[in-house]
Structure 1
Amino acid sequence: MPVSSMTGFARFEGQAEGAGFVWELRSVNGKGLEPRIRLPQGFESIEAEVRKRLGARLSRGNLQVSLTLDRPEGVSNFSINHAFLSELLRLSDEIVRSERAAPPRADGLLALRGVIEVSDETHSSDWFTARAPAVLQGLDGAIAALVAARQSEGLALKAILDRRVDEIEALAKAATDDPSRSLAAIQARLQRQVSELLGLDAGLDAARLHQEAAMIAAKADIQEELDRLTAHVAAARTLLSEGGPVGRRLDFLSQEFNRESNTICSKSHTASLTAIGLQLKTVVDQFREQVQNLE
């Protein structure tokens, strides 16, 4: 199963017993699966099933889910308020009889506010029950389209993440091979620093110098951090190849990457190793930023 992004959009149009409907699904990043569902009046009873079907295919993301229902052909959206119209006619008759106004025209009466009302069609529960299966089948189509859209973006994200993992591995190798990590280099640096401090070029105790160099080397050793980086790189590649909802586990690995890069920087006593550590931190930040988009 490929990795999936948490962002995507899908639209599905269908027919249910003469009534057209449209599902629209929008998905963005989220800590968990958080659907917000808008259904037309009368379809409230299918909300639980909608949530169930979303949960069966998606594990993370903030979802905006809306169902729009088109009215069947031949069904009017308007109605006349006959009681209000009758009262208007009665009043107008009184005014006309008093010869204070001309008889009203039909178009003038219908233009008065309140005479024509925009009404929502009401149907029996059986009307909605008969159309629910087709509407839910349409939801399945919309979810499938959303999953495909998220997987398509996930492929692009995977390519980016693969490159970042390669860069982390390369930087870890560069740190491993950095000449400043050798005991001889540490000893030479210490001898130079002590000589500069004392203003001497010779006369230092070789055994004591070697002992001090070994202690500094032990404190500055980053082999454990490099070993953990290597293990994390392997774990990240395994997760990216397995696919599925791996965003949380990759986010944890990004935190581990960051911890090791921070430690390498803090232990470094040379410009070359510090530069590698800072570059590593940059790449890890880029890795973590992209991981936030994964399901």
Structure 2
Amino acid sequence: MTISSMTGFSQGAGFSAPFHWRWEIKTVNSKGLDLRLRLPAGFDGLDIPARAAISRALARGACYANLSVTRESPAVTAKINRDLLVHLMETLSSLPHPENIGPLTLDGLLGLRGVVETGEVEEDEAASASARAQILAGLDAALHQLQAMRRDEGEALAVVLGQRLDRIEALTRDADASPARQPQAIREKLREAVAQLCELGRFDETRLYQEAVLLAA
């Protein structure tokens, strides 16, 4: 019989441009499979295949699987509205310049609303699909590592359990072979106990002894 532990830990990491990803999986004892899966925003589509992969690999234990993903390139872009910037510069240069106001600066103009336009980077669907595939492959690798750890711990537990069972068996044999467990020794002990009871009061020694033998049989 193969014994597998329910406790274990594994992790796996990788890079699929522009995403860095990492799996961390931990399992502890539980009657059945209790799965807790955490996925970052934007990767919710991995929920069903990830749960299916974990269910194929594990039958019991409370499993905590966490995926973290970071993007290498920025998720937003910045673009200068040149037409607006030129218009502001021309307009301001044509206005009178009060003495109590400092000269025109570029950083001041760039801070005005609408001069710098920001927006989210358009997702590359091919890159995202490739990242999701590699993340699922990384999950399988982490699960294989977890299974190996649980098997190794189970084999170590099996050795300890076998030693304990062998010790129990040896103690049982020794107890069965003990002279004190032999019928004649037991009868002698009963006879002594009945004699002591008779000394304490008026009892029928023969009847007491017969009943004691019957109870011990």
* TM value normalised by structure 2: 0.71
User: Amino acid of the residue matched to residue 216 of structure 2?
Assistant: A
1:41 positional shift = 1.2
Q: Which residue of 2 aligns with 1:99?
A: 100
How far apart are residue 124 of structure 1 and its match? Answer: 6.5
Instruction: Answer whether contact 2:23 2:142 (CA < 8 A) is retained.
Output: yes
- Cα distance in 2 between the residues matched to 1:195 and 1:102: 122
Write the distance in 1 (CA, Å) between the matches of 2:120 and 2:172: 66
* Partner residue, 2:164: 164
1:216: which partner in 2? 215
The corresponding residue for 1:9 is: 9
Given that 2:77 and 2:120 are in contact with CA atoms closer than 8 Å, whether structure 1 keeps it comes out as no
Unaligned 5+ residue runs, structure 1? Answer: 83-89, 219-295
Give, as a single letter, the amino acid of the residue that structure 2 aligns with 1:65. A
| Structure of higher CA gyration radius | 2
Query: Does structure 1 retain, via aligned residues, the 8 Å contact 2:25–2:66?
Result: yes
Paired residues, number = 195
Are residues 1:181 and 2:181 paired?
yes
Contact 1:14 1:138 in 2 (8 A): yes
1:4, 1:152 within 8 Å by CA — same for their partners in 2?
A: yes
Deviations 1:144-192 (A, max 9, x none): 1111111122222112111111122122223322333332222212211
Question: Post-superposition, which runs of at least 4 consecutive aligned residues in structure 1 deviate over 4 A?
Answer: 77-80, 100-107, 119-122, 124-127
CA RMSD of the aligned region, Å? Answer: 3.6
Task: Measure how far apart 1:97 and its partner are.
Answer: 6.2
Q: Provide closer, same or farther for how the CA distance between residues 103 and 9 of structure 1 changes in structure 2, counting only shifts above 3 A.
A: farther
Give the distance between the partners of 2:7 and 2:122, measured in 1 at CA.
36
Cα distance in 2, alignment partners of residues 18 and 101 from structure 1: 44
Q: Which amino acid aligns with 1:76?
A: P
Call closer, same or farther: CA 1:98–1:175 in 2, change over 3 Å.
farther
* Aligned amino acid, residue 195 of structure 2: S
Q: How much does 1:136 deviate?
A: 0.8
**Identity percentage of aligned residues:** 33
* 1:233-268, Cα deviation, whole Å (9 max, x unpaired): xxxxxxxxxxxxxxxxxxxxxxxxxxxxxxxxxxxx
- In the alignment, the residues of structure 1 paired with residue 26 and residue 138 of structure 2 have an alpha-carbon distance, to the nearest angstrom, of 15
TM-score by length of 1: 0.54
- Give the aligned residue type for 1:151: R
In structure 2, runs of 5+ residues without a counterpart are 81-87
Give deviations 1:51-77, integer Å, cap 9, x for gaps.
1111111111111211122314xx225
Is the 8 Å Cα contact of residues 186 and 213 (structure 1) preserved in structure 2?
Answer: no
Matched residue of 1:199: which SS? helix
Contact 1:187 1:209 in 2 (8 A): no
Residues in 2 aligned to 1:120 and 1:155: alpha-carbon distance in whole angstroms: 52
1:90-140 alpha-carbon deviations (Å, 9 max, x no partner):
9xx9xx969378878949x98xxxx9x9x9977376653343222111111
Secondary structure of 1:70 counterpart: strand
**Partner-residue secondary structure (3-state), 2:22:** strand
Contact kept? 2:194, 2:209, Cα under 8 Å: no
Classify 1:99/1:79 alpha carbon distance in 2 versus 1 (closer, same or farther; 3 Å): farther
